[in-house]
Amino acid sequence: MQANMPVRVFRLPDFQGNFFPLLHRFTMSSHLQWMVIRNCSSFLIKRNGQTYSTEPNNLKARNSFRFNGLVHKKTVGVQPAADGKGVVVVLKKRAGQNKPANSYVKVTINKNSRATLNSLRHIIRKNKYRKDLRMVSLICGFGEAETSNSWHFCLCQSLRTTFKSHLFPQAALRRASAILKSQKPVVVKKKRTRAAKTA
């Protein structure tokens, strides 16, 4: 082959008769990726007859196509902040799928509970992210203190009880609410001691 020979890119016509590169024609869809990793992922955890998944941006830690954080072009993740104050919202951009290091945007929200939930709701709606993640909630263990290293474990522990889909309104908001509640200081009530009886 000569050095100056031009490289030809094969193109295929779409349904409208337009031509586009062959590379885009054979890009794996999210459904095909899910069929590949659903039973052989390193994030799978099987406990009490249930299968959970601990990959990032999985709001319910459930091994399902709907909540998987790897195969979709747009995902939403809510994590506790490193300093223990506020939450970090992780958004996956639709553009730049071939650059994983630059395809995620992290937004730190350090406000009171009401303002944090309003900001999170505004971010999801403004960027037109998936409504199924906004309208499906996460019932998390409110009594357990969550840290950046063990929040997935607490998540799996809290999902042992099964709930129907209509009991999960607003997944990302409930996830952020659980994190904010776990960061509040716990007030221990002092027990009253009875005075000793005098003879």
Residues 111-131 have pLDDT tens digits of: 888 888 888 888 888 877 766
What's the pLDDT at 43?
A: 92
What's the pLDDT at 10?
A: 45
> Is 155 part of any domain?
yes
> Is 51 part of any domain?
yes
pLDDT band at 170 (very low <50, low <70, confident <90, very high): low
> Is 97 part of any domain?
yes
Strands 44-47 and 19-21: unpaired
What's the pLDDT at 133?
A: 62
> Is 196 part of any domain?
no
Please give the mean pLDDT across all residues of the chain: 70
> Is 120 part of any domain?
yes
Average pLDDT over residues 149-176: 52
Average pLDDT over residues 27-50: 88
What's the pLDDT at 26?
A: 53
Domain containing residue 87: CATH number: 3.30.390.110
145-152 long-range contacts (CB < 8 A, ≥24 apart) are 145/182, 146/80, 146/178, 146/179, 146/182, 147/80, 148/79, 148/80, 148/82, 151/79, 151/80, 151/179, 152/54, 152/61
> Is 158 part of any domain?
yes
Q: Which of the pair, 110 or 152, is modelled with greater confidence?
A: 110
> Is 92 part of any domain?
yes
Task: Report pTM.
Answer: 0.59
> Is 33 part of any domain?
no
Provide the domain count of the chain: 1
- The answer on pLDDT for 191 being more than 60 is yes
**Listed range (65-79, 90-104, 146-160) with the worst mean pLDDT:** 146-160
Average pLDDT over residues 167-178: 68
pLDDT band at 35 (very low <50, low <70, confident <90, very high): very high
Domain, as residue range, for 152: 46-183
